[in-house]
Amino acid sequence: MDDRRMKTSRLAPSLVSVVSLILAACQAPAPSTSTSLTAVVPPTSAPTTSAPTAVASPASLTGAPAAPTHLDAQKQPNGDILLRWDPVPGATEIHVERRDGPDGEFLELGVTGAGSSGHLNTGLKPGTQYTWRLKACNRAGCSDYSAEAMANT
């Protein structure tokens, strides 16, 4: 048997298997809308050159994240206020808002990134009452506001 025939005969069983699988898949009934599909990819020992892809967290798949919790405002010796809160799963950003005085409006100070759990508020006026609140956001939307935290400088 020459080399070409030998190579073809080695490929034939695997090609037949692939064609059989494709035909079987085409003849299978379509899945119902309640069917859960899972892709199974066999492992490979060959190195990959593609960049890793982001994995969506369960919170980002089901909607907006929960509101930030345990917001605390701590006065620092220099008059700055350190804000701390628990990280919010599924949030891609935290919006920090502050009210100056007891009757002021809340204005956004800025936005922190995913996984953040604190912010140092600087440049505050001595002898002033400040109130902060937060909301967590992702592509699906934003949470309700957190409980408020107050501090005096």
pLDDT digits (tens, 9 = 90+) for 45-70: 444 444 444 444 454 456 999 999 99
Q: Which amino acid is located at 120 in the chain?
A: L
Neighbours of 115 (CB within 10 A): 11
How many CA within 13 A on the CB side of residue 125? 7
Q: Is 4 exposed, middle or buried (0-12, 13-18, 19+ CB in 10 A)?
A: exposed
How much is the pTM?
0.60
Residues in a beta bridge with 93: 113, 137
Q: Confirm if 80 and 122 have CB atoms less than 8 A apart.
A: yes
Tens-level pLDDT at each residue, the chain (153 residues) = 455 444 444 444 444 454 454 444 445 444 433 323 333 333 444 444 444 444 444 544 569 999 999 999 999 999 999 999 999 999 999 999 999 998 899 999 999 999 999 999 999 999 999 999 999 999 999 999 999 999 999
**Strand 149-152 relative to strand 107-113: parallel, antiparallel, unpaired?**
unpaired
CA distances from 19 to 2, 23, 31 (A): 26, 6, 21
How far apart CA 144 and CA 134 sit, in angstroms, is: 9
Residue ranges and CATH numbers for the domains of the chain are 62-152 (2.60.40.10)
pLDDT of residue 61: 53
pLDDT of residue 75: 96
Q: Is 83 exposed, middle or buried (0-12, 13-18, 19+ CB in 10 A)?
A: buried
Q: Is 92 exposed, middle or buried (0-12, 13-18, 19+ CB in 10 A)?
A: middle
Three-state secondary structure of 88-116 = CCCCCEEEEEEEECCCCCCEEEEEEECCC
